[in-house]
Amino acid sequence: MLLGSVEAGGTKFVCAVGDENYRTKDIVSFPTTTPAETLQKTIDYFRQFDIKALSVASFGPIELRRNDPKYGYITNTPKPNWADTDFIGTLKEAFDIPMFWTTDVNGSAYGEYVMSTLTNERINSLVYYTIGTGVGAGAIIDGDFLGEMGHPEMGHVRLKRHPDDLDFNGICPFHGDCLEGLVAGPTFEARTGKPGKEVPLTDHVWDIMAYYVAQAALQVTLIMRPGKIIFGGGVVSEPFLKKVRQQFSELLNDYVNVGNLDDYIAMPAIKHNGSATLGNFALALRELQA
């Protein structure tokens, strides 16, 4: 049996076909252009296969409350041309099959959750952050997604400012110095004039970044008490997470027990940005069996 996965990012789409054991059989990617063109490419791709169900993990914000008239839409995104796009409606016209619809980070979170069940890690709740062009996060509790009023927007929480960073106003157009405004990839350019790739980990700016990311981890720890917090995205590396764990430890001050910190704050278990694709296969299967 074949299942479809769409990871709809603001820069590129990754479409894949897999089986009920979540093995990828085929995968393509193409740039995100206009909705009409990009969704048509998506439809053309899946027309080659006899897929039984499909899951889409999309950039947002999106409407995912099933009782809302705009369910299946990308809503008020600032991305040109994409606001108010009926994503699922367009796909449903081409394929009359069960479809699941969630955010990109929820898809990744679900993939990591499924992987934890396969590896017997037995995590019942986890948070998946991506730190790249923007900052987003999805959360799973007992196999379900968090969010009654809509999906989380954890990238926009406020944080205690680092004493050596008080002059930086942040780059979020909505909130200035929220988490995204302080640690998204483009903050390197804004702070140092250089892209992140050219800033060595010995640079103090990485300590400042780690301080903020550690606070994000601290917030979800104290609010949700999840089993695990995963960080993905272009800004994240294992050496950077070492710094994050150290700052997290100092901030938490042993107040609650999170188990082994190297397991608790970790990179994705699924490599090569594959978390959302695997998550989509599992969600498509779940939707088919619902």
**Interacting residues with its own copies (CB under 8 A):** 61, 123-125, 137, 139, 141-142, 144, 146-161, 174-175, 177, 215, 218-220, 222-227, 251, 253, 255-259
Q: Please, what is the minimum distance in Å from the beta carbon of residue 151 to its own copies?
A: 7
Nearest to 85 by CA among 109, 66, 61: 61
Nearest to 130 by CA among 150, 148, 111, 149: 111
Q: Could you give the CA distance from residue 251 to residue 92 in angstroms, rounded to a whole number?
A: 48
Nearest to 54 by CA among 9, 15, 108, 110: 15
Q: Which is nearer to its own copies, 2 or 140 (CB)?
A: 140
Q: Please, what is the minimum distance in Å from the beta carbon of residue 22 to its own copies?
A: 24
Q: Please, what is the minimum distance in Å from the beta carbon of residue 73 to its own copies?
A: 14
**Is 247:241 a contact under the CB 8 Å cutoff?**
no
Q: Which is nearer to its own copies, 13 or 231 (CB)?
A: 231
Q: Which is nearer to its own copies, 67 or 202 (CB)?
A: 67
Q: Please, what is the minimum distance in Å from the beta carbon of residue 36 to its own copies?
A: 28
Q: Which is nearer to its own copies, 3 or 217 (CB)?
A: 217
| Helix, strand, coil shares, percent, the chain, to 5 | 40, 25, 40
Q: Which is nearer to its own copies, 47 or 65 (CB)?
A: 65
Nearest to 234 by CA among 6, 2, 76, 9: 9
Q: Please, what is the minimum distance in Å from the beta carbon of residue 29 to its own copies?
A: 29
